Amino acid sequence: MQAGKLHSNAAGYCRVTALIAMHSPILAVILAEYAYAQLSWQRPDVQLPLPPRTYSALGFDPVLSFLVVFGGRGSDGAPFGDTWVLDWNASQWYNATSTNDPSPRYGMSYGMYNRQLYIFGGCSSESTCYNDVWRFSASSFNWLRVNITDGFLPSPRRNAMGGIAPQSHLMVVSCGWNGGYLSDTFMLDLEYDRWIELESTMFVYSPWSPHPRVFAASTMISPTKMFVFGGCTKHGPCPGRDAWIFNGDASRWTTLDFCFDARREATAALINWNGTTFIVVFGGVITGLQYFSQTVQTFENVAILDTVSSQWSVKRMSGPTPGNRIGNSIAALSRGGALLFGGQSASNGTYLNDIWVLSGNPAASSENNGSCFGWFTLSLIGVHGLLMFIAFGIVLFIGSSMAHYVVAVATPNRCQWQYWHTAIEVASSKWSILRVHHLLQIVGTVLALFGFASGLLLISTTDTGHFRSVHGCLGLAVLLLLLVQAILPPM
The CA distance from 346 to 464, in Å, is: 23
Pairing of strands 325-326, 329-332: unpaired
Instruction: Give the pLDDT score at 324.
Output: 84
The pTM assigned to this predicted structure is 0.78
Instruction: Give the pLDDT score at 34.
Output: 47
Instruction: Give the pLDDT score at 103.
Output: 95
The CA distance from 146 to 127, in Å, is: 23
Q: Three-state SS across 261-293? A: CCEECCEEEEEEECCEEEEEEECCECCCCCECC
DSSP-assigned states of every residue in 90-124: TTEEEE---TTSPPS-BS-EEEEETTEEEEE--BS
Instruction: Give the pLDDT score at 22.
Output: 41
Pairing of strands 92-95, 109-113: unpaired
Instruction: Give the pLDDT score at 292.
Output: 54
Of 218, 215, 236, 238, the residue nearest 227 (C-alpha): 218
Identify the three-state secondary structure at position 438: helix
The CA distance from 196 to 198, in Å, is: 6
Mean pLDDT by 10 residues, the chain (491 residues): 34 35 48 60 85 95 91 95 91 89 95 95 94 94 90 92 92 93 93 92 77 91 93 80 91 86 87 85 71 53 86 80 89 82 90 90 65 57 83 86 66 49 50 75 87 76 59 81 75 56
- Classify residue 55 by its DSSP letter: S
The CA distance from 161 to 392, in Å, is: 37
Instruction: Give the pLDDT score at 204.
Output: 67
The CA distance from 54 to 104, in Å, is: 13
What share of residues in the chain are helix, strand, coil (percent, to 5)? 25, 35, 40
